[in-house]
Amino acid sequence: MRLGLRLFLGFFLIVGLAAFFVMRVFVHEVKPGVRQAMESTLVDAANVLAVMAADDMKAGRIADGEFARRMAEADRRDLRAQVWRFPKRHLDYRVTVTDAKGIVVYDSQGRDIGRDNSRWNDVYRTLRGEYGARSSPEVPGDDTRTVMHVAAPIRDGDRLIGVLTVAQPNHTLEPFIRASQRSILRRGAWLIGLSALIGAVITWWLMRGINRLNRYAQAVSAGEPVPPPPPRRDEIGDLGRALEAMRRKLEGKAYVEQYVQSLTHEMKSPLAAIRGAAELLQEPLPETDRQRFARHIQTQEQRLTETIDKLLALAEVEQHGWLQKRERIDVGALMAQAAQGLEGKLASRGLHLRVASPSSSLAVEGDAFLLRQALSNVLDNAIAFSPEGGAVDLAVEWTDDQVRIVVCDEGPGVPDYAGERVFERFYSLARPDTGQRSSGLGLPFVREVMRLHGGEVVLRNRAEGGAEAVLSLPVAWIG
């Protein structure tokens, strides 16, 4: 079972079970709670009616006096009440009055006149000065429907002269109890559903961070340059930062070892040439030979310097693995800036740079310096392989989602055997005019810059002759 599912089930199980048991408690407490509230109301009603019946009880006319007439009048009223969606049309109270011996002398329903109620708990306890109440079956032998009775003493001064009992069937409260229970269950279901939703969101949030760490760790183990997971202010964020620090240390060590080996290998040839020329210069030589060997030393020194500079630039972009800076860059301005720095090289070769600026405002997103350096490297290559007096074309094409900067030259093109290797580090083709090779680091630098920007670079031959380099980048804006 996957970790995310375990987290979700664990959270839902804890919250769901807690909600379930709380609901059960609430549902089972509704009925006794409502009946306790009803009993409290009956206590109030019984005591108020006991005071109102006292005069007729003392006068011996409780069965046909003012109190009896008022009760009969109240019993005939149409209440037309709407209690919490339930209609109420008549009184549910039944009032009985017993004398000091517990004999019924008044019954609002006229059924039990003369019956001895002294044995019933409500009357029995009230006659002894205690609180009297009972719950008895509405029909003898049927415990499913009960009636609650609450009694209050009728007094003549301090002398107890009777007991008034107010009774109300418990089934009159059943609609309210069932409605409350349904409401609790309905809201409890919402609570459980909300708990499941919260559990799913929390699980998704946790697993999102864990999955990012997992993908990052797998990419690092596969040797892919990837940015670290987005920063978080929790333990997952701490783990991500620790993994990134560990990756940097491990990759930095391997990276230095690899580049030291590469740089050592590339420096052997120019250093050997410099050493040979220096040894010859120690001997007596004609002036022409001396100048030739001095120029050779200077050429090899420039090659070493170029190799070191480009190697450092390439190392910087390769080590980052992701862009450190992002801004919106105007493509037309980028092309113009790259072209400005090439005027001297173009003039020395008698070349003409034809720039076809975009007719619309195009923009890409990324690091302007890196993109300018990459475009300059591609233009340098085009100039180096172009015949004297020729032309280099710089143009741009675009679609709704991509910008393509195209550099074309009129040189010999890329040999078939070199097509797959031109982007390898330190691989270089001999220049047509001098036969010399470059550091072989320019195009690898361009490829890394394109990768950092989510694009790509392609170098291919044109049907009409010459080579074409295409730098493809995601479009950020078209105006």
pLDDT tens-digit readout, 394-412:
999 998 889 999 999 998 9
pLDDT, mean of residues 340-352:
82
pLDDT surpassing 50 at residue 254 = no
What is the C-alpha separation between 95 and 451, in angstroms, rounded?
A: 93
What is the C-alpha separation between 325 and 323, in angstroms, rounded?
A: 5
DSSP 222: T
pLDDT, mean of residues 446-459:
88
First to last CA, the chain: 51
Q: What is the mean pLDDT of the chain?
A: 81
pLDDT digits (tens, 9 = 90+) for 42-73: 999 999 999 999 999 999 999 999 999 999 99
Does domain 3-180 fall under CATH 3.30.450.20? My reply is yes
Q: What was the pLDDT predicted at 255?
A: 47
Residue 4 — very low, low, confident or very high, per pLDDT cuts 50/70/90?
Answer: low
What is the C-alpha separation between 180 and 240, in angstroms, rounded?
A: 51
Cα-Cα-Cα-Cα dihedral sign, residues 415, 419, 420, 424 = positive
pLDDT surpassing 90 at residue 380 = no
3 state DSSP class of 435 = coil
pLDDT digits (tens, 9 = 90+) for 215-247: 777 777 676 666 777 777 777 777 777 767 766
What is the C-alpha separation between 120 and 136, in angstroms, rounded?
A: 10
What residue spans define the domains of the chain?
A: 3-180, 225-319, 323-478
pLDDT, mean of residues 328-338:
90
Range ranked top by mean pLDDT from 298-307, 427-436, 441-450: 441-450
Q: What was the pLDDT predicted at 49?
A: 95
pLDDT, mean of residues 347-374:
86
Q: What was the pLDDT predicted at 319?
A: 59
pLDDT digits (tens, 9 = 90+) for 434-446: 767 776 777 888 8
CATH class belonging to 323-478: alpha beta
Report DSSP letters for 291-325, one per residue.
HHHHHHHHHHHHHHHHHHHHHHHHHHHHHH-S-S-
What is the C-alpha separation between 146 and 172, in angstroms, rounded?
A: 10
Report DSSP letters for 101-138, one per residue.
TSBEEEETTSS-TT-B-TTSHHHHHHHTTS--EEEEEE
Q: Greater confidence, 238 or 473?
A: 473
pLDDT digits (tens, 9 = 90+) for 14-44: 776 776 666 666 656 777 887 888 889 999 9
Instruction: Please tell me whether the overall predicted TM-score, pTM, comes out greater than 0.75 for this model.
Output: no
Beta partners for 468?
408, 460
In contact, 476 and 365? CB cutoff 8 Å: yes
**122 CB-contact burial (10 Å; exposed 0-12 / middle 13-18 / buried 19+):** buried
pLDDT surpassing 90 at residue 125 = yes
3 state DSSP class of 168 = strand
Q: Phi/psi of residue 23, each to 5°?
A: -65, -45
pLDDT, mean of residues 183-209:
77
Query: Which CATH architecture fits 225-319?
Result: Orthogonal Bundle (1.10)
Q: What was the pLDDT predicted at 312?
A: 63
Cα-Cα-Cα-Cα dihedral sign, residues 404, 438, 460, 423 = negative
pLDDT surpassing 90 at residue 288 = no
